[in-house]
Amino acid sequence: MPPVVYQEKCKGCGKCEEICPGDLMELNEGKKAFCRSARDCWDCMACVKACLYGAIETRIPYQLGYYPARLIPKMGDKEIEWTSIDINGKVDKFVVKTYNK
């Protein structure tokens, strides 16, 4: 499923455009992000993790959880905190260590 960009939160910084391994994220004329080819997105979530403003969200494919289930990353220096919200609104958080320098 392609990323959803909340236009009101997008600041047009271009981080998503820089990080996208498929070169799918772009900024429109109003300097707001969008995915130019939704069918080519492979849900790597690089853009979601790179966004400093929480403006991008990847919807969990229906095979894993029906809408409004969400998986939200919050990047840290040496870890990613993941917030999982199931279809009933139950929230779970877990932290994964990263090896970023």
Give the pLDDT confidence of 72-94 residue by residue, as tens digits. Answer: 888 888 888 988 888 888 999 98
- Check whether 27 has a pLDDT greater than 90: yes
pLDDT tens digits for 3-12?
899 999 999 9
The DSSP secondary-structure symbol of 27 reads E
Calpha distance 88→41 (Å, rounded):
27
User: Percent of the chain at pLDDT above 70?
Assistant: 89
- Written as one letter, the residue type at 30 is G
Alpha helices in 1-101 (DSSP H): 15-19, 46-50
Query: Residue 40: helix, strand or coil by DSSP?
Result: helix
Looking at residue 72, its pLDDT comes to: 84
Supply the pTM of this predicted model: 0.67
Query: Domain 1-58 falls in which CATH fold?
Result: Alpha-Beta Plaits (3.30.70)
